[in-house]
Structure 1
Amino acid sequence: MVKHTGRPGYLQIADDLRAQIRGGALAPGSPLPSTAQLAEEYDSSLSVVKMAVGILRNEGLVIGQQGKGVFVRDTSDIPAAGDLAGEVAELRTAVQDLSARLAKMEEQLATSTARRPSRGSR
């Protein structure tokens, strides 16, 4: 049931479903209850439930199959939050390195172009 805490209902539902997925109550490959069932369970509207499920889709925790329902995704291949922070740090370092290399190449190109006489001045 959605509580009147000031936190939007769709976030409360998403939090609860996320906890069930991570806790194993909703195993990989298992279907989520229907939107109508979830709306009844959480005493909420269909649109609020759809927003909650949409959040879980965006997070990659569930996947929808047209005409079949929404299923819990196998999250063993999704990096944990700590791993994700490490990956972001690695990507930043790689981008900085590439930026420095690109700047050096552009400088070399500008220098070599400036030294060459133009074709019309031969």
Structure 2
Amino acid sequence: MVRHTGQPAYLQIADDLRAQIRGGSLAPGTPLPSTAKLAEQYDASLSVVKLAVGVLRTEGLVIGQQGKGVFVRDAEEPPARSDELAELRATVEDLSRRLAKVEEQLATSTTRRSGRSSR
């Protein structure tokens, strides 16, 4: 139940779900109830519940699996997000180096062409 405390409803829901996860009533690997069930349970809109679950995802407490639901993450398991982030950073750095080489080659080839036409 969301209360009129001045704290946004989605944060109240996130706080309650977080407490359940840390307290063990939502154990690792356990699926969260559906968004519709949580909305009914907390007497809140679907968008408010989605924001609350988003907070827990950002904190790494839950993980979503496409088409399956949202599950409580094992505290021992490192969040996949950090691994994905490191991989993305490495890919961006590699692409940046490759792009710099291509730009250098283009600049060199353009300089050569303009040098030939001025003769």
Identity across the alignment (%): 81
Q: What is the rounded CA distance, in whole Å, between the counterparts of 1:8 and 1:24 in structure 2?
A: 25
Per-residue deviation, residues 40-85 of structure 1 (Å, max 9, x unmatched): 000000000000000000000000000000000001346xxxxxxx
Query: Where do 5+ consecutive residues of structure 1 fail to align?
Result: 79-122
CA RMSD across the alignment: 0.9
TM-score for both structures, normalised by structure 2: 0.64
Pair 1:76 & 2:80 matched: no
User: In the alignment, is residue 22 of structure 1 matched against residue 43 of structure 2?
Assistant: no
Structure 1 runs of 4+ aligned residues shifted over 2 Å read: none
Structure 2, unaligned stretches of length 5 or more? 79-119
Which residue identity lines up with residue 37 of structure 1 in the other structure? K
Q: What is the SS of the residue equivalent to 1:71?
A: strand
Which residue of structure 1 aligns with residue 98 of structure 2? none
Task: Look up the match of 2:53.
Answer: 53
How many correspondences in the alignment?
Answer: 78
Could you tell me how far apart the structure 2 residues matched to 1:58 and 1:77 are? 15
For 1:13, the aligned partner's letter is I
Normalized against structure 1, the TM-score is what?
0.62
